[in-house]
Amino acid sequence: MAENAYKEAGVDIEAGNALVEAIKPSIKKTMRPGVMGGIGGFGACFDLKATEKFDDPILVSATDGVGTKLKIAIETDIHNTVGIDLVAMCVNDLIVQGAEPLFFLDYFASGKLDVTTAQKVIEGIAEGCQQAGCALVGGETAEMPSMYEDKHYDLAGFVVGAVERSEMVTGENIKAGDTIIALPSSGLHSNGFSLARKIAEQAGGYTIKPPFESKFNTLGEALLTPTTIYVKPALQALATGKVKGLANITGGGIYENIPRSLPKGLGINIDAHKWALPPVLGWLKDAGSLSDKDFATTFNAGIGMVLFCAAEDSDQVVEALASCDQKAQEIGKVTENDTIEIENTETAWQI
């Protein structure tokens, strides 16, 4: 067989090596105390003691992807933000338990490796890691001919963090009457895109001007707004010692995610007038003729994360969030009945 038989079969090792060299500067920017060595080894090592932050740490891990939001990135040839989404989807889950993200690994798979595209994606991952304060310590770039269509790729991420055993957030102390504080979302984040893509296609596709107020030139650009990373403001709020619980509003929306953080038997009552609905979400609800329940289960309805605290501690928690330039708003209370009640949606969610 020819010397370049593997390349003729569809796998270009040289392209993979070129990608590693291209992304090294971005990865270097994510380094933090605890990282041992650089990328390129068979495994990445991290010295937890070197962080000088933990006496009795519990390791917490999370993994996630970006979902069919990638389809829009591929079809619009905009690849510089989905990496941020990948990190966000992982680290925002981690922070709910009070854990500080330490290091991140990614998996990038394609049918044929396009170095330019992959570089943009991984640079976005590095940007997300910088926002989250964690190191990008390694990953895997897989080239698999016939597994993916031309130009298509997939992403997965994995993050490890740590929290002091005594400071783990479990939500077990949440009680009726506690205040619910919402952190606004930047838009869809990375959930509900199978429905969002269908609505966008019916509206004319990703190249049309956004049919809602937007700083972007096209609908595709607006839909690719990256997921907000809440790590640094959430850690600041947790440092007050007043946060009883958190919920990351991802797939399943308000109705599915908030109950995961509440003790059994408790519910919530929130007022939809208390927070702003991003224009893109209002448009999707209207264009898709979605019921309130369907909307707030498929999408985040404008809330990216919620925090629970005693009513008397609310101001302190909001101030801590504000110190990191994080907007926050009290939106309601924890209730004794095991239901999710959202008031005033008939006016707050209309466009």
Residue 173 located in a structural domain: no
State which of 167, 187, 206 marks the end of a domain.
167
Same domain, 115 and 15: yes
149 and 26 co-located in one domain: yes
The predicted structure's pLDDT at residue 271: 98
Q: Digits of tens for pLDDT over the chain (351 positions)?
A: 455 765 655 666 677 678 878 788 888 898 899 998 777 677 889 999 999 999 999 999 999 999 999 999 999 999 999 999 999 999 999 999 999 999 999 999 999 999 999 999 999 999 999 999 999 998 999 999 989 988 999 999 999 999 999 999 999 999 999 999 999 999 999 999 999 999 999 999 999 999 999 999 999 999 999 999 999 999 999 999 999 999 999 999 999 999 999 999 999 999 999 999 999 999 999 999 999 999 999 999 999 999 999 999 999 999 999 999 999 999 999 999 999 999 999 999 987
Residues in the chain: 351
Assess whether 202 and 259 both reside in one domain.
yes
The CATH number covering residue 282 comes to 3.90.650.10
- List all residues 6 or more positions away from 321 whose beta carbon is below 8 Å from its beta carbon: 181, 183, 233, 236, 237, 327, 328
- Indicate if 230 and 153 belong to the same structural domain: no
Say whether both 136 and 218 belong to one domain: no
| Claim to verify: residue 143 and residue 206 sit in the same structural domain | no
Domain total of the chain: 2
Please give the pLDDT value at position 227. 98
- Beta-carbon count within 10 A of 260 CB: 12
337 token code pair: 């009945």
pLDDT (tens digit per residue) in 181-199:
999 999 999 999 999 999 9
63 with 203, same domain: the answer is no
Is 99 in the same domain as 246?
no
**Domain boundary residue, one of 139, 167, 195:** 167
φ and ψ at residue 204, rounded to 5 degrees: 130, 0
Domain around 162? 5-167
Last residue of a domain, which of 122, 146, 167? Answer: 167
The closest of 122, 105, 93 to 231, measured between CA atoms, is: 93
Q: Do the domain assignments include residue 33?
A: yes
What would the 3-class secondary structure string for the chain be?
CCCCHHHHCCCCHHHHHHHHHHHHHHHHCCCCCCEECCCCCCCCEECHHHHCCCCCEEEEEEEEECCCHHHHHHHHCCCCCHHHHHHHHHHHHHHCCCCEEEEEEEEEEECCCCHHHHHHHHHHHHHHHHHHCCEEEEEEEEECCCCCCCCCEEEEEEEEEEEEHHHCCCCCCCCCCCEEEEEECCCCCCCCHHHHHHHHHHHCCCCCCCCCCCCCCCHHHHHCCCCCCCHHHHHHHHCCCCEEEEEECCCCHHHHHHHHHCCCCCEEEEEHHHCCCCHHHHHHHHHCCCCHHHHHHHCCCCEEEEEEECHHHHHHHHHHHHCCCCCCEEEEEEECCCCEEEECHHHHCCC
Same domain, 187 and 208: yes
Q: Is residue 172 part of a domain?
A: no
Q: How far is CA 47 from CA 102, 195, 213, 305, 342, in A?
A: 10, 43, 47, 30, 45
Tell me whether residue 333 is in a domain.
yes
Residues 6+ apart with CB under 8 A from 196: 188, 223, 284, 299
84's tokens: 């941020």
